[in-house]
Structure 1
């Protein structure tokens, strides 16, 4: 069992990462639409854009919600980290390091998601309540 401070720190990280990913996934589904995301991915040179767009939107939205509640958050974090690698490679690499055009935000978000995947979600997760920690 984690001591209280690291458990709370991981919970705050999990919640903030989950909120950010859920918001971006929501944006892809309900503001841009999958067709718009597919078109954007095609312009960026993402392979299989018609498959990648709904997959990325789902990983971001559903994975973000799972991250928030702390259920399968390790899987969600690993998938979200992969999405951020793709964002860096296909959309941000040529923009240098600093945001908004560089990799800064995607790198930090990917590492944060990977941290949850590797270290767990901390306190107050559905998995903890179910006794599966």
Structure 2
């Protein structure tokens, strides 16, 4: 079965899978910042980390995660969303996760840097290769060209 798929088809399917999974994860991270804790709650968290201009960065990160996740799923503005999300993950890794280490200790599950670095790598893949041809973005471009 896999041998019958062309490299382009396999790449396009892989990019859709990466975009959708990455998008869902970032929506799940952005949703509570937007609708549960709110921008002010997230701003307080960032302030506690010593982030300068926590109110501004709370808005930027929340928009990048929630709406960037939606953009990735749809395949629109994919490279821009991926760039913002890659920056988000690098900053999160250096601000918070580097103190914990790569793998979370047994007494603090889920706080290691491994997830952030995996999300960073996936965002870089979308940044490098774009959304693939199975996307709204490239579908619109094809209509404009024809």
- Taking structure 2 as the reference length, the TM-score comes to 0.85
Count of residue pairs the alignment pairs up: 133
Instruction: Name which of structure 1's ranges 58-67 and 43-52 shifts more when overlaid on structure 2.
Output: 43-52
Q: Does 2:63 match 1:58?
A: yes
Aligned to 1:17: 22
1:47 shift after superposition: 1.7
Q: Following the alignment from structure 2 to structure 1, what is the Cα–Cα distance between the partners of residues 50 and 113?
A: 17
Q: Which has the bigger relative contact order, CA under 8 A and spacing at least 6?
A: 1
Which of 11, 14, 23 is the aligned partner of 1:6? 11
Task: Point out 4+ residue stretches in structure 1 off by more than 3 angstroms.
Answer: none
1:48 Cα offset (Å):
1.3
Gaps of 5+ in 2: 1-6, 105-109
**What does residue 112 of structure 2 align with?**
102
Highest Rg: 1 or 2? Answer: 2
CA contact (8 A) 1:45 1:90 kept: no
Q: Is the 8 A contact 1:19 1:64 kept in 2?
A: yes
What RMSD over aligned residues (CA atoms) do the two structures have, in Å?
A: 1.7
CA contact (8 A) 2:47 2:54 kept: yes
User: Does 2:128 align with 1:118?
Assistant: yes
CA distance, structure 2, for counterparts of residue 46 and residue 107 of structure 1? 20
Structure 1 unaligned spans of 5+: none
Q: CA deviation at 1:131?
A: 2.6
